[in-house]
Every structure is written in C-alpha cells, then in structure tokens.
Amino acid sequence: MGVLIVDDSMFMRHLITKILNKHEINILGEAANGREAIDKYKELKPDVVTLDLMMNEMSGLEALEEIMKIDPEAQVIICSSMGQKAFIKEAIELGARGFVIKPFDEDSLVDEVQKALISKKDK
C-alpha cells in the first residue's frame, strides 16, 4: 500500500511526503510532471495518487485522463491552488476522487488520502 506524489515543486513533494510519513502513510514514489506520473503509475501501481494540476511538460489533467484509462478505479486526489477551481471541477469529472486546496492544512490532506486508501481497500 502506498502513495504516489505528483507535483512539479520539489518543496511541495517534500512537504506532502513529510506530512504523510508523520501519519504512517507509505510513499511509493514521486513524479515531477504528468509524463513521469503515468510512467510511475504503471511501474508502482500505487493505491493513491496526489496530483498537482499545473505542471510543465504534461498537465495534471492530461495525466489524470491517462491514469484513468490505465485504471478506472484509480484513487487520485487533486492538490491544487484555489485559483484553479474550473480545473478542479474538470478533474472531478475526469475521475478524481477528491481534492485539497493549496495551501492545505495537514488534516485535510491526511483525511483525503485516508479516505482514498479505505476506498481502494474496499474494491
């Protein structure tokens, strides 16, 4: 069981890793853009993905669409800033299971990831 963290900001990937590790949630890997996310998803088969929407090379929305083609039951949580509400709505329509608005508080992130892990276990 574990999480794939996808964000183009190394700082944000480190922060999410630190928060989830503190709550004993296993991190399987990280990706810095959408292309890496797809490759890592295929390789690692994570239970949950935290996904930033605005990234270089391939956006989070494009990556989400591809991940959902690979695994329609994928548990993807969008971690994005408030100014991207339209994109978050589109992400939910594409199959994202939840979202956390940046800057997020620790409890919101952990709650969303734990809900997704439970949902994955129930499948």
What pTM, to 2 d.p., does this model score?
0.93
What are the residue boundaries of the structural domains of the chain, listed by start? 33-71+79-123
Distance CA 19, CA 25 (A): 9
DSSP string covering 28-47, please? Answer: EEEESSHHHHHHHHHHH--S
Per CATH, the homologous superfamily of domain 33-71+79-123 is Response regulator (3.40.50.2300)
52-63 pLDDT, tens digit per residue, is 988 988 999 999
100-114 pLDDT, tens digit per residue, is 988 888 999 999 999
